[in-house]
Structure 1
Amino acid sequence: MRVLLAVLAGKIVAWLVRFLKRGRGSSLPGLVALKIHPRLLSHFVRQVRRGVVMVTGTNGKTTTNNMLARMVADAGLRAVVNAEGANLVTGIATAFIRAASWRGRIFCDYALLEVDEATFPRAAAQVRPGAVVVTNFFRDQLDRYGELDRTVALIRDALADLENVRLILNADDPLVAQLAATGHAATFYGLGRHAEVSPTSTAAREGRFCPFCGHALTYDYYHYSQLGNFRCPSCGFSRPRAQVEGEGVFAGARYSRCRLRYPGGTQELVLGQPGLYNLYNALAAFAAGLFLGLDPARMAGSLSSYLPATGRMERFRCGEKPVLLNLVKNPTGFNEGLRALLHLDPPVDLLIALNDNDADGRDVSWIWDVDFEMLEGMQERINLIFCTGQRGEEMAVRLKYAGVPLGKIVTEGRMEEAVRGVLRASGSSACLLATYTALWPVERILCRYAQRERAPEGLPSLS
């Protein structure tokens, strides 16, 4: 009876949210249902036929999980997915409620669940996943998570309490690779050496020291931040061999590509999204798909036609002006978003929407760790920068201290005027970077003036 009441209440709340147009309803239904039945997740998970995969880490959770969901669907299998990125326990419960019948019955092969790092211990204890994908660890919302070593410890301790779980780990991140020491079977994924690797990285603060002995790590090369080919000269901890590895890497303006090497063969992979981080997401999803027994060639095809979730390097067009929309929520992700400007047609009009709600993190001091100084070297490529959101003025101050000319900075408190301004400005292309709670209003406004590109077009193949 409690299950029936919880599911009924959740579905009614979801309908009301949609009817009243009060948001996406991706968490509130689960919140209400869990108040009625706190163990509702366990009830749902027992009905999943083949198993549960959980995806956690700092960046890339939504994209990795949705890529995996696309591959599972293309294989003719059914899955419960929290596709909108609502990754707290309430969002996970909402995903199950949406998929359940009025009687609380679930008919699916897999549950594919993106999980917030701080939520992971509680969710894992209830869900008991068969596989856990860990993307990366970067500093993020210090006022919520605390220091990064605390976040890593939360995941490590929760994994130690699980049984019969397969870990799918980023070989290039020492903070992730160390989780193999929990004793679980592990599959590693990563990128091989490519033309854009760097022998140095000023941003590699998170992975500077060995997680086992504390000695400074040495790197043959970096991909970005602390991701690269690392080794500890003291205890011998080093980048593990990646079973799934991207070789011949290229990351361009409209697409990225590599040759996937995996046990038993190779596959050519071309993504309709730019950036090394999207290749990492695809590698993680591919490795998880191999564990689930999916066909490698079909997975590569699914990834090539994958469309990103809202704000994950989404492409729009306003008249003849190409527009890129991307979520930014921590220094590493912001740095990669700024590097995307190098691939857009200059001059570029840029919008930065900075909010400080709970979901964004109340402390916005992290913007001082973003390498905005790189914009000083792009001055000829930048037309105007519009700063908006609850903390738009602080963003403008940060840009001033980064060396951006004041004549290029526009502070606009009204978000709609800021979005209209960046679209109407005289640049050849536009890029909109928004923190989490700013992303949805920016996206809604953008959709009124621009058209979303629905499918990747003209993707090349590897030679």
Structure 2
Amino acid sequence: MNIRLMMAVLAAKFASFISRRFGWKGSSLPGVVARKIYPGTLRDLAGQARRGIIMVTGTNGKTTTNNMIANVIEAGGFRVVINQEGANLITGVTAAFIKHADWLGRMRFDYALLEVDEASFPRVVKEVKPQFVVVNNFFRDQLDRYGELDKTVQLVRDALKTLPDVHLVLNTDDPLVAQLQTTTGHPASFFGLAPHQRPDNGARQTREARFCPRCGKELHYDTYQYSQLGSYACEDCGFQRPTPEVEAALVETAGTALRCQVRYPAGQVQLAIHTQGFYNLYNALAAFTVGYLVGIEPRRILKGLLRYKPAIGRMETFRYNGKPAVLNLVKNPTGYNEGIATLLNIPGTKNVFMAVNDNDADGRDISWLWDVDFEYLADNHRDIEVFVCSGLRGEEMALRLKYAGVPLEKITVVRELAAAIKEVLEGPGESTYLYSTYTALWPTQKILSGLAVKEDLHAEGLSSLS
């Protein structure tokens, strides 16, 4: 029996208790305490997995993808450990194991499902050896923390090269992700969307990867999904979009749900998820691919995905005075552009809330807001009644909207978060859409939960999707 591990777990659980007692979020605090007492805590706890470790990394969609995978794995009858709340630094990953361990540091689980921050990925894989690694996408994000995009890709690629035996699950539509098979030498399974699934073709969005990751020549695209995701090929060296094992087509929106036909090696099925946002199909396809690879029956995979409920701020839906309100985390230009596209697809008039903070977790540099296509939003402002800007940098958000061309009479700045949320919810629009950066998200969700009712989308049923 490892006495240091026991002491670390005991101290961490006590820290977690105190944190909850005083109402602190503290999702990473137990990991911080445990690692101070015994640096081998994560390695020892993760080593108790009976079947393996599955990691998710990349820029956007880590929390959603990881939670979808958890639903799929549990639908297959397995027990899981998961950092469900999105605490994805090494301390948060450690805390997830501590939460599920007993006071002696003993655990009983089949799979650990871990979303891991890109910059923390090299540290985590030094202590935890995954069986599968899912990479969803690479986008420019928090330049003051990560640096340029090629540095982020290199961090993940170099860390993958150190792993002796791992199977990659890669988004075939992102050339920055797809290249990881050849650059690491690991076996890979690809997932993606069939061409021409999106009517607007993502034509206005910023492209993060114009050039071939292999030879540096400009990539040729036949079609885009969004940002640099699409059907690409390098006419110089032959690098091109790999043929996916799992591919979605015939994408439809059905109220607050999405559905599509999924082709995979053993046949074809209809997949449905209770969430909005075109990008969430990629998250669902990644989860489907993992489920298929670990041997779960397709009908159980689909059942698990159908049970998925959005995590905090991931297209989370509320109802205020009979009107829907959707909360969405935004943290980089690509994610914000997709959030705008989702907003404009919602029928009827809307109220819009935009909270921007510049704390360490958000990134101090908010210049990325000028790369978001707010001009597209301004061009389609007629169905938007009000824009309420808040947070530490609410004034800068309002200024960005002004320069995008949003009429000044529609823009309001309310620094106090609770007052701003109350004002936007009571706006004249038929629905409300709330955008929030990281450190504003939890306070926004807490205030919203006190004012509105969390909507259970599953209560509506999905009979039309089955």
TM bin (shorter chain): over 0.9
- Return the alpha-carbon distance in structure 1 between the equivalents of residues 202 and 274 of structure 2: 29
Question: Does the C-alpha gap of structure 1 residues 256 and 241 become closer, same or farther in structure 2, counting only changes over 3 Å?
Answer: same
Q: Which secondary structure does the structure 1 equivalent of 2:81 belong to?
A: strand
Measure, in 2, the Cα distance between the counterparts of 1:213 and 1:379: 42
2:258 to 253, 256, 259: 256
For the pair 1:126 / 2:133, whether they are aligned, the reply is no
Assess if the C-alpha contact under 8 Å between 2:355 and 2:436 holds in 1.
Answer: yes
Q: Say if 2:169 and 2:189, in contact at 8 Å, map to a contact too.
A: yes
Give the one of 356, 363, 368 matched to 2:358: 356
* Other-structure match for 2:462: 459
Summarize deviations over 1:347-371 as a string: whole Å, max 9, x none: 2000000011111101000000000
Q: Which residue of 2 aligns with 1:392?
A: 394
Which whole-Å CA distance do the structure 1 matches of 2:287 and 2:68 have between them?
Answer: 6
**Equivalent residue in structure 2 for 1:210, among 184, 209, 212:** 212
Deviation digits for residues 430-454 of structure 1 (CA, Å, limit 9, x no counterpart): 0000001101000000011110112
Q: CA deviation at 1:462?
A: 5.3
> Following TM superposition, by how much is the alpha carbon of 1:160 offset from its aligned partner in structure 2, in angstroms?
0.7
Which residue of structure 2 lines up, in the alignment, with residue 76 of structure 1?
A: 77
Amino acid at match of 1:459: L
State the Cα deviation string for residues 239-264 of structure 1 (Å, max 9, x = none). 00000110111245522111111111
**Distance of 2:204 and 2:365 partners within structure 1:** 23
Deviation at residue 458 of structure 1 after TM alignment: 4.0
Partner of 1:153: 154
Q: 1:169 Cα shift?
A: 0.1
Q: Which amino acid aligns with 1:223?
A: Q
Distance in 2, matches of 1:367 and 1:236, equals: 35
- Larger mean CA deviation between 81-90 and 189-198 belongs to 189-198
Matches within 5 A, 1:63-142: 63-142=64-143
The whole-number CA distance in structure 2 between the counterparts of 1:234 and 1:251 is: 38
The Cα shift of 1:2 comes to 1.0
Contact 1:198 1:221 in 2 (8 A): no
Aligned partners of 1:259 and 1:267 also within 8 Å = yes
SS in 1 for 2:139: coil
Aligned mates of 1:236, 1:462 — CA distance in 2: 39
Q: Residue deviations 1:115-156, cap 9 Å, x none?
A: 000000110111010110001000000000000000000000
Q: Deviations over 1:66-109 (max 9, x none)?
A: 00111112222111100000000000010000000100011100
Structure 1: distance between partners of 2:201 and 2:444? 37
Task: State the secondary structure of the residue aligned to 1:383.
Answer: strand
Q: Deviations over 1:308-350 (max 9, x none)?
A: 1011001110011111110001000001111112232322000
| Residue pair 1:55, 1:115 contacting (<8 A) in 2 also | yes
Amino acid at match of 2:73: V
Q: Does 1:144 align with 2:145?
A: yes
Alignment of 1:20-39 (within 5 A): 20-23=22-25, 25-39=26-40
Question: Retained in 2: the 8 A contact 1:199–1:219?
Answer: no
Q: Which moved more, 1:45-54 or 1:265-274?
A: 265-274
TM-score, length of structure 2 as denominator length = 0.97
The one-character-per-residue Cα deviations of 1:31-57 (angstroms, maximum 9, x if unpaired) are 011011112111012111000000000
3-state SS of the aligned residue for 1:276? Answer: coil
CA distance in 2: counterparts of 1:46 and 1:255, whole angstroms? 38
Specify the SS of the correspondent of 2:279: helix
Deviation for aligned residue 1:205 = 2.6
Runs of 5+ in structure 2 lacking a partner?
A: none
Q: 2:454 & 2:300 partners in 1: Cα distance?
A: 26
Taking the aligned partners of 2:302 and 2:464, their CA distance within structure 1 comes to 12
Is the contact between residue 253 and residue 343 of structure 1 (CA under 8 Å) also seen in structure 2? no
- State the Cα distance separating 1:459 from its structure 2 match: 2.7
Aligned to 1:309: 311
AA aligned opposite 1:147: E
Secondary structure of 2:433's partner? Answer: strand
Deviations 1:191-239 (A, max 9, x none): 0023425567343431100001000001110000000000001001000
SS at match of 1:133: strand
Q: Secondary structure at the match of 2:291?
A: helix
User: Cα distance, 1:305 vs. partner?
Assistant: 2.2
Match of 2:414 among 409, 412, 415: 412
Contact 2:206 2:334 (8 Å CA) reproduced: no
Q: Is the 8 A contact 1:353 1:387 kept in 2?
A: yes
Query: Is the 1:305–1:455 contact (alpha carbons within 8 Å) kept by the matching residues of 2?
Result: no
CA RMSD of aligned residues (A): 1.3
- Find the aligned partners of 1:224 and 1:234 in 2 and give their Cα distance: 24
State which drifts further: 374-383 or 408-417.
374-383
Deviations 1:395-427 (A, max 9, x none): 000000000000000000000000000111111
- C-alpha distance in 1, partners of 2:37/2:247? 45
Report the TM-score, using the length of structure 1 for normalisation: 0.98
Matched, 1:265 2:273: no
Distance of 2:249 and 2:73 partners within structure 1: 24
- Greater alpha carbon shift after TM alignment, 340-349 vs 280-289: 340-349
- Match of 2:16? 14
How many pairs does the alignment contain?
Answer: 462
**Structure 1 contact 383–427 (Cα < 8 Å) conserved:** yes
Taking the aligned partners of 1:251 and 1:245, their CA distance within structure 2 comes to 17
- Counterpart AA for 2:462: L
- The answer to whether the 8 Å contact 2:68/2:287 transfers is yes
Task: Tell me the distance in 2 between the aligned counterparts of 1:266 and 1:196.
Answer: 21
Distance 1:253 1:392, change over 3 A: farther
Q: Which amino acid aligns with 1:83?
A: Q
What SS does the corresponding residue of 2:457 show, helix, strand or coil? Answer: coil
Q: Distance in 1 between matches of 2:276 and 2:202?
A: 23
- Residue 243 of structure 1: aligned partner: 245
CA contact (8 A) 1:251 1:275 kept: no
Counterpart amino acid of 1:58?
Answer: T
Instruction: Rate the CA distance shift 1:49–1:329 in 2: closer, same or farther, 3 A.
Output: same
Encode CA deviations 1:240-290: one digit per residue, 9 max, x unaligned: 000011011124552211111111111111111112211000000111111
Question: CA contact under 8 A between 1:268 and 1:461: conserved in structure 2?
Answer: no
CA contact (8 A) 2:197 2:225 kept: no
Contact 1:121–1:155, Cα closer than 8 Å, also in 2? yes
Greater displacement, 407-416 / 449-458: 449-458
Identical-residue share of aligned pairs (%): 55
Give me the whole-angstrom Cα distance separating, in 1, the residues matched to 2:108 and 2:455: 33
Partner Cα distance (1:361, 1:344) in 2: 30
